[in-house]
Amino acid sequence: MTARKSFQCPLVSFAVILMRNVALFVEDFAHQQVIDAILERLAAEYSLELDLQWRSAVRGFGRVVDEFKRYVHDLETQVETTPDLIIVATDANCKGLQQRSRELRQENSRAPIIQAIPDPHIERWLLLDGAAFKAVFDKGCDAPDLKCDRNRYKQLLTSAIREAGINPSLGGIEFADDIVKNMNFNRAAQSDDSFRKFIKNIRVIFRNWN
């Protein structure tokens, strides 16, 4: 009788990464650039794959609110496929963080909602970490103040980049990805409550997805 040989198949572990769908409603191109850079960095940190669906990225606050609330209503009526997360982003402007948050609040959503409300404007977030600024432009930037002025932080961002010898073609927002990649999020969060809140809420969601 011939002895039957026994073969053992080695165990192979396959890591399956689930694609997470994120619907985004943002005020303009600047918000899209900054939020995209933040999500890309945090997704890599938590080993996540994101499918970012930009539902609105133009025409300001009113358009964002209208499209955001219509979308959430459509989810309730099951017209739309439910995403894993909804993000709505708009500047606080002179309304303040709390009031703007109330204006964006939406109850009974089928998907979790995170608000990104830069106070007062998104460009201020890019000025929070002077070390990150220096890593990108070889010259740091001054710590931003906190004043209600519609164009103040756009001007501060542009001026800081020009002082480094670079003439930004889009006011500096085109460097958002480079700045965010070099930011110390914890240090930046200490300087800005709106940034801290957004990063904290995103981390909570991403941890739950792991």
Q: Is the pLDDT of residue 2 over 50?
A: no
Name the residue with higher pLDDT: 36 or 12: 36
What lies within 8 Å, CB to CB, of 106 at 6+ separation is: 68, 69, 72, 113
Sheet holding 85-89, edge to edge: 49-56, 19-26, 85-89, 113-116
Percentage of residues of the chain with pLDDT beyond 90:
73
Q: How do residues 150-173 score in pLDDT, each as one tens digit?
A: 789 999 999 999 999 999 999 999
Across residues 51-67, what is the average pLDDT?
87
Host H or E run for residue 9:
none
Whole-angstrom distance, CA of residue 102 vs CA of residue 105: 5
Q: How do residues 104-156 score in pLDDT, each as one tens digit?
A: 998 889 999 999 999 999 999 999 999 999 999 999 998 899 888 878 999 99
Q: What is the pLDDT of residue 188?
A: 96
Q: Which amino acid is at 67?
A: E
**Cβ distance 106 to 113 under 8 Å?**
yes
Q: Is the pLDDT of residue 32 over 80?
A: yes
DSSP 173: G
Q: Is the pLDDT of residue 1 over 50?
A: no
Q: What is the pLDDT of residue 3?
A: 42
Q: What is the pLDDT of residue 16?
A: 56
Chain center to CA of 32: 8
The token pair that represents 14 in the structure block: 């396959």
